[in-house]
Copies of this chain bind each other. A is one copy, B any other.
Amino acid sequence: MTDIKSFIRTIPHHPKQGIMFRDITTLLKDPKGLQLLVDGLAEQYANQKIDKIVGIEARGFVIGAAVAYKLGVGFVPIRKSGKLPAQTIQQEYALEYGTDVMEIHQDAIAKSEQVLLVDDLIATGGTAMTAVSLINQLGGNIVGCAFVIDLPDKGGANILLAKGLKVFSLCQFNGE
């Protein structure tokens, strides 16, 4: 099987010195890459009951909606503050400097629905944990958290696992 990592471009020192930025746009723009990504994630959950896939703005939208289509389930966006037009619930989260707020529509998930959380990348896990909290507040059961890329050095996947969540990623990058 073609290695999905070979489609991902690394941009050294972006957005700042010492950060190896993993750019999935080179994966997405390749027809074979996009198929590998969507099929790889969908396959992992093909035999599980899922009602909704939740994707986190903005790269999680690209991946989440395509996987939702493939699995024949609904797609729900989690957005930055002020972007969703109907009633929302909010959750604050920490940034490197200061805080920000993520939102989900109150009626996006019904109680006890089975939810798969999808994003492009798991690093420290801050964004994912905020999304988990929003889904739980609406009464959703989180079937799993799926990512294209895991950065194990950053520890986010372990934080999710420690909360009893199931985590899957298509590939991992260490400090290479």
Question: A62 to chain B: which residues have CB within 8 Å?
Answer: 55, 61-62, 64-65, 75, 77
Q: How many Å from the CB of A172 to the closest CB on chain B?
A: 19
Q: Which of A27-58 contact B (CB under 8 A)?
A: 28-31, 33-35, 38, 52, 55, 57-58
Tell me whether A85 is interfacial, beta carbon within 8 Å.
Answer: yes
Question: A38 to chain B: which residues have CB within 8 Å?
Answer: 69
Question: A108 to chain B: which residues have CB within 8 Å?
Answer: 25, 29
A86 interface neighbour in B23, B59, B75, B86, Cβ under 8 Å: B23
Question: A33 to chain B: which residues have CB within 8 Å?
Answer: 74
Question: A132 to chain B: which residues have CB within 8 Å?
Answer: none
A-side interface size class: 35 or more
In the complex formed, the residue of B with least CB distance to A87 is: B11
Question: A70 to chain B: which residues have CB within 8 Å?
Answer: 69
Q: DSSP class of A's interface residues: helix, strand, loop or mixed?
A: mixed
Question: A55 to chain B: which residues have CB within 8 Å?
Answer: 62
Tell me whether A63 is interfacial, beta carbon within 8 Å.
Answer: yes
Report A's interface with B, CB cutoff 8 A. 9, 11, 14-15, 21, 23, 25, 28-31, 33-35, 38, 52, 55, 57-59, 61-66, 68-70, 72-77, 79, 83-86, 105, 108
Extra 17 A-B pairs, beta carbons < 8 Å, given A21-B85, A25-B85? A14-B85, A28-B74, A28-B77, A31-B68, A31-B72, A33-B74, A34-B65, A34-B75, A35-B69, A35-B72, A38-B69, A58-B83, A61-B61, A62-B62, A62-B65, A62-B75, A65-B66
Closest 7 CB pairs of A and B: A29-B74, A61-B61, A62-B65, A66-B69, A66-B66, A28-B75, A58-B58
